Structure 1
Amino acid sequence: MTKDHAAASPAISFDDFLKVDIRVGRIVEAAPFPEARKPAIKLMIDFGAEIGVKKSSAQITRHYTPEELVGRQVLAVVNFPPRQIGPIRSEVLTLGVPDADGEVVLLAPDQEVPLGGRLF
Structure 2
Amino acid sequence: MSETISFDDFLKVDIRVGEVVRAEPYPEARKPAIKLWVDFGPGIGVKKSSAQLTRHYSPEALVGRKVVAVVNFPPRQIGRFMSEVLVLGVPDEEGEVVLLVPERDVPVGGRMF
Structure 2 counterpart of 1:57:
50
Query: Scaled by the length of structure 2, what TM-score is found?
Result: 0.99
Structure 2 counterpart of 1:85:
78
Q: CA deviation at 1:66?
A: 0.3
Query: Scaled by the length of structure 1, what TM-score is found?
Result: 0.93
4+ aligned runs moved over 2 Å, structure 1? none
Q: CA deviation at 1:69?
A: 0.3
Deviations 1:63-100 (A, max 9, x none): 00000000000000000000001111000000000000
Unaligned runs of 5+ in 1: 1-7
Structure 2 counterpart of 1:30:
23
Look up the equivalent residue of 2:52 and give its one-letter code: Q
RMSD: 0.5
Structure 2 counterpart of 1:110:
103
**Counterparts of 1:106 and 1:18, CA distance in 2:** 22
**Counterparts of 1:9 and 1:68, CA distance in 2:** 33
Q: CA deviation at 1:10?
A: 1.5
Unaligned runs of 5+ in 2: none
Q: Percent identity?
A: 74
**Counterparts of 2:88 and 2:9, CA distance in 1:** 18
Paired positions, count? 113
